[in-house]
Amino acid sequence: MSQYIVETKQANVSNLKREDLLNAMLYRHACKKFDPTKIIGHEDWSAILEAARLTPTSLGFEPFKLLVIQNKEIRQRMAEFGWGIQAGLEASHFVAILARKKQEIQFDSPYIRHMVDEVKQLPEDIQDLYKGFYKRFTEEDYKTFESERAAFDWTSKQAYIVLGNMLTMAAYEGIDSCPLEGFHQDNMTALLGDELGLFDTKEFGIAVMAAFGYRAEEPRRPKTRRTMDEIVEII
């Protein structure tokens, strides 16, 4: 079987309890102080990565990559460019979620060809259909190729779905986390990409980051959210 085909036969949702997932979501909070001595176990971490891998993406093009930064020296360097990420840098695991840039998501780019030919293994006729949809979608519907920024914002949106799934899976395992946008994108990209060579800055930008580990203290403030009436309108 192709390495790209995900085995789904064992998936059975009939015995799952909705309370379990809701409890995990209530447990999740933006952790402000991680215990640096508590390390996430291999199986728990693997499940968080699997949640990322199984994330749906527009047209199934998976335009993201996870950079898991465990190197302490690199984390120290990163602190300079992130007012909001300092606490997260202490956590067991730290991830930069990269999103692909415009050149990467053109239909005839090597990356999209890899997705279409090898990963999705689309037959020729379906590929033609895809190409037509993609052209319309990117040029007329969402105008994702209008600018470098529009393209990166579009791939970053996919990266944020990845982020959400990782946070939820972590909470389901009793693991704390914090999504992180509190950093200077250009300076961080210059450090991780240009200086340290951890990714090619022509191909990727940093969409968002996240820290995973275990809380060193309980949340300082109660969780607040708008009421359902404020959020939902049924027409």
Residue whose token pair is 């992180």: 180
Its sign, for the CA torsion 105, 64, 167, 87, is negative
CA distances from 55 to 49, 81, 157, 182, 228 (A): 10, 29, 12, 24, 26
What is the smallest separation between the CB atom of 181 and ligand FMN, expressed in angstroms? 4
- Residue 42 or 223 having the CB closest to ligand FMN: 223
Residues 112-131 that bind ligand FMN (CB under 6 A): none
Asked if 97 interacts with ligand FMN (CB under 6 A), we say no
Q: Which is nearer to ligand FMN, 85 or 112 (CB)?
A: 85
Tell whether the torsion through CA atoms of 59, 209, 97 and 168 is positive or negative.
negative
Residues 6 or more apart whose CB falls under 8 angstroms from that of 66 comprise 49, 52, 95, 96, 97, 98, 162
Min CB(175)–ligand FMN separation in Å: 14
CB atoms within 10 A of CB 41: 11
Give the whole-angstrom CA distance, residue 126 versus residue 57. 18
Among 57, 58, 84, 198, binds ligand FMN (CB under 6 A): 84
Determine, following the binding rule CB under 6 A, whether residue 162 of this chain makes contact with ligand FMN.
no
Q: Is 213 in the site for ligand FMN (CB under 6 A)?
A: no
How near is the Cβ of 91 to ligand FMN at its closest, in Å? Answer: 12
Nearer to ligand FMN, 48 or 116 (CB): 48
Q: Should residue 182 be labelled a site residue for ligand FMN when binding is judged by CB under 6 A?
A: yes
Binding site for ligand FMN (CB under 6 A): 29-30, 32, 84-85, 178-182, 208, 223
